[in-house]
Amino acid sequence: MSEKKVITLLNDLGIKYTTNSMIYTFKIFEDDLNFEKLKKFIDKKIISDFSGNAKYYYTSDEINSTEWFVIRSTHHWSYPQPENNYNNIIYDNSNYCTGCGSGLIQKDIFQMKKEPSWGKRNFIHLHWVMDELFINSRILNNFKSQNFTGIEIENVNFYKKNIVLNTVKHLKICNILEKSFFIENPEKIITCEKCNKTKYVLGWGGFYKFNKTILNNNNCDFIKSHEIFGDGLMASRYIIASKKVLNYFILNKIDEIEFKPIVLI
Ligand SMILES: [Zn+2]
C-alpha cells in the first residue's frame, strides 16, 4: 500500500499518528473499535510492514500471570560476516537443508564488519540471524552479575582483521527446549520437500501458548524453542526467557527488547 493510502486509512479510522520522515508511529489498543478494522488490513497483508515492525504492549496482569516470555530485539543492525559465506564459516553446515535453511549449528564465533552502532541501546540482533542476541560490553558486568543460566558469553570478531571487537559480546543460548509450543492460527505452515521438517510463520500479536510442565521444568533463564520459524530460507527458533530476565530488562530500562508473555497450559 502506498504511503498516501496508509495515511488516508489512518485518517479515516481517526487514528492519531506521529511521523518522522517515512516512519509513521501510532498506538492502538485491542479494545479500540478500530482495532479489528485495522487488523483486517494487516491480516490480508495489505499493510504488511505494520505487523513486522509493530511493538506490542501487555497489561501488568498479563505480564504477572506468567513466568516466561518470548523475547526479541527491535534493534536490528548489519549482517553476519562474511555476508556471502557466513553459513560456512560460522556454522557447521553438514546438516544444512538448502530447501528450508534449517540445520545450521554454530561452530565458530560471530564476525561483524565493525563495532555496532549502539546509540543508547544495549542489545542488538543481526539481520538474517533472528535467534542470536548481542550485548553491549558496557553493561556486561551488570548482566553477568545476574548469573543467568543457559547462556555463554562469546567474543565477536572484527571481520577480516581477526581481532576481537571491544563493544560487543554474543549471548550464546546453549539449549533447545523440548517440543512444547501449541501453535495456533499460523500465518503459514511450511513442510520442506527436501528434509520434511516443518517450519511456521506466526504473527507477533496476541499470546503464545506452551506446555506448562516442560517450560517450568527447564533450568534455563534463556532457552530456544524446539520449533523453527521463518519463510523461505529463514529458519530460526524463538528465544524464551524467564521472568528474572524480563525483570532485569525492565529494571535497567532496556527498551529495545520486546517481549511477549507466554500462556502456560
Ligand atoms: Zn528442509
Residue 32 grid cell: 479500540
What is the distance in A from the centroid of ligand 1 to the CA of 258? 29
CA of 105 to the centre of ligand 1 (A): 14
* Residue 85 alpha carbon to ligand 1 centre in Å: 19
How far apart are the CA of 235 and the centre of ligand 1, in A?
9
Q: What's the pLDDT at 45?
A: 63
Quote the ligand 1 centre to 243 CA distance (angstroms). Answer: 34
State in Å: Cα 184 to ligand 1 middle: 22
- Residues having C-beta closer than 5 Å to ion ligand 1: 97, 99-100, 192, 194-195
User: What average pLDDT does this structure show over 159-168?
Assistant: 95
pLDDT of residue 117: 92
Which residues does residue 124 pair with via DSSP β-bridges, in sequence order? 134
- Ligand 1 centre from 237 Cα, in Å? 15
Ligand 1 centre distance from Cα of residue 94 (Å): 13
Residue 36 has φ and ψ, to the nearest 5°, of: -65, -40
pLDDT in tens, 219-261: 999 999 999 999 999 999 999 999 999 999 999 999 999 999 9
What's phi and psi for 207, nearest 5 deg? -130, 155
- CA of residue 86 to ligand 1 center, whole Å: 19
Calculate helix-pair angle for 35-43, 3-13, nearest 10 degrees: 160
pLDDT at 8: 82
Q: How confident is the model at residue 203 (pLDDT cuts 50, 70, 90)?
A: confident
Å from CA of 64 to ligand 1 middle: 38
Question: Does the N-terminal peptide bond of residue 261 adopt cis geometry, omega within 30 degrees of 0?
Answer: no
Measure 220 CA to ligand 1 centroid, in angstroms: 28
**Confidence (pTM):** 0.85
**Cβ-Cβ contacts under 8 Å for 94 (sequence gap 6 or more):** none
Mean confidence (pLDDT) of the chain: 90
3-state SS track over 84-142: CCHHHHCEECCCCCCCCCCCCEECCCCEECCCCCCCCCCEEECCCCCCCEEEEHHHHHH
Q: How far is the CA of 195 from the centre of ligand 1 (A)?
A: 4
Instruction: Tabulate helix, strand, coil % of the chain (nearest 5).
Output: 20, 30, 45
DSSP 194-216: TT--EEEE--SSS-EEE-HHHHH
Contacts 24+ apart (CB under 8 A), 36-40: 37/13, 38/9, 38/13
- Determine phi and psi for 13, rounding to 5 degrees: -85, -5
What does the pLDDT average to over 28-33?
77
- Report the C-alpha gap between 121 and 109 in whole angstroms: 22
Q: 210 CB contacts (<8 Å, ≥6 apart)?
A: 68, 180, 181, 182, 240, 262, 263, 264, 265
Half-sphere exposure (CA, 13 Å, Cβ side) for 234?
Answer: 15
Q: Contact at 8 Å (CB) between 55 and 227?
A: no
Rounded to the nearest angstrom, the distance between the alpha carbon of 228 and the centre of ligand 1 is 11
Between CA 76 and CA 86 the distance in angstroms is: 17
Q: What pLDDT score was predicted for residue 178?
A: 96
Strands 222-229 and 181-182: unpaired
Instruction: Give the model's pLDDT for residue 133.
Output: 97
